[in-house]
């Protein structure tokens, strides 16, 4: 089997150097926190709830790419596909000097759950109040009656958008948390992979996939999906994905959603746009309204080829928050 080929300096420097490149591209909008792998907005408003996100590196522009006005205030990162440590999370929060409390938003993974929970408990002892939202939008990772076991994937950015807009209004921590939780409950995703991802540190792929196969429901770290099968036409695959998302989100005629077609790393824009064409056709047949469409690389998995589709169901309050302005490296609105 072929080996991964990447333009790097040294595998051990990947996380640090990509973060330095992101900061340089922000043109002064964010800065690194000394001694840890974390970034923070330069123009923090200490009079509002602070939104802190994070997780493993390797999913760029998630998570640090969403640090900016109307989104996250800070992001703390672990090594590739590895949760950040509790002390790094605590140091990030203390650097922000929160006045109205902290809302943590992160994907529903064992390491992230444990480390953010430890940090929250220790911060509480220091008088810093926090709440957490564990995003679990991946419908392929567990059935609907075990939604609490589902993984978080590209849907993180929808929750960050709502939380950031709510915090920008000056709302109290409990209200920002309530709206972010509502956004989490309204978000569903599913992905498909045509090729594996690799770890820069090992120079090896994390799994194997035959040339004529795809894997449905793949995780962003290469976690097994629901099945492998021979390649099929794009419209056939997208029809199945849309059917699964509509059923899981209980979409009905007249519902309004935001649509995200996310490049997992190595998909071409041709593939993403062909998927967009079919998704819009199918939703129009169901008379489901698409309020906004995002297409591009928002939560990647190194060089994995494939994409994920996310539906974010709107209501009037969520729509107003979604339409509020935001500005970061990865998302400007």
* Residue numbers annotated as active site: 59, 221
Tokens coding 53: 């996100």
Tokens coding 180: 């972010």
DSSP 284-318: HHTT-EEEEEEEE-SS-BTB--EEEEEEEEE-HHH
**CB neighbours (10 Å) of residue 114?**
12
Phi and psi dihedrals of 232, rounded to 5?
Answer: -135, 165
CB 44 within 8 A of CB 50: yes
Those residues whose C-beta lies under 8 Å from the C-beta of residue 26, and which sit 6 or more positions away, are 68, 329
Distance between CA 168 and CA 49 in Å, rounded? 8
User: For the chain, how long is the longest CA-to-CA vector?
Assistant: 56
Nearest-5° Cα angle at 305, 301 to 308: 70
Tokens coding 78: 């672990």
b/e 55-65 (16+ beta carbons within 10 angstroms → b): bbbbbbbbbbb
Bridge-based pairing state of the strands 50-57 and 102-107: parallel
Alpha-carbon distance values, 37 to 66, 80, 108, 290 (Å): 15, 12, 20, 37
């Amino acid at each position: 089997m072929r080996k991964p080929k990447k333009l790097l300096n040294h595998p051990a420097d990947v996380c640090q150097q990509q973060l330095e490149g992101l900061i340089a591209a922000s043109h002064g909008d964010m800065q690194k926190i000394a001694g840890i792998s974390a970034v923070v907005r330069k123009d923090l408003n200490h009079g509002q709830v602070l939104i802190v996100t994070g997780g493993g590196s390797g999913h760029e522009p998630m998570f640090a790419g969403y640090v900016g006005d109307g989104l996250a205030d800070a992001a703390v990162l672990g090594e590739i596909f590895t949760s950040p440590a509790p002390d790094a999370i605590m140091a990030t929060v203390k650097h922000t000097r929160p006045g109205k409390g902290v809302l943590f938003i992160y994907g529903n993974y064992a390491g992230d759950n444990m480390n953010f929970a430890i940090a929250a408990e220790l911060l509480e002892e220091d008088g810093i109040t926090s709440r957490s939202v564990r995003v679990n939008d991946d419908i392929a990772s567990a059935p609907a009656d075990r939604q609490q076991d589902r993984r978080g994937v590209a849907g993180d950015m929808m929750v960050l958008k709502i939380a950031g807009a709510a915090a920008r209004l000056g709302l109290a921590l409990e209200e920002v948390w309530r709206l972010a939780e509502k956004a989490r409950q309204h978000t569903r995703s599913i992905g498909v992979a045509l090729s594996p991802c690799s770890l820069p540190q090992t120079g090896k792929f994390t799994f194997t996939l035959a040339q004529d196969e795809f894997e449905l429901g793949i995780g962003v770290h290469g976690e097994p999906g629901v099945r492998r099968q021979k390649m099929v036409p794009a419209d056939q695959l997208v029809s199945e994905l849309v059917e699964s998302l509509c059923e899981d989100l209980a979409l009905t005629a007249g519902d309004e959603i935001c649509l995200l077609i996310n490049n997992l790393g190595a998909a071409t824009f041709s593939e993403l746009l062909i998927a967009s064409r079919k998704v819009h056709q199918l939703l129009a047949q169901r008379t489901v309204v698409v309020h906004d469409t995002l297409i591009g690389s928002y939560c990647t998995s190194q060089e994995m080829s494939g994409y994920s589709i996310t539906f974010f169901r709107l209501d009037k309050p969520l729509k107003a928050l979604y339409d509020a302005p935001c500005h970061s490296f990865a998302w400007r609105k």
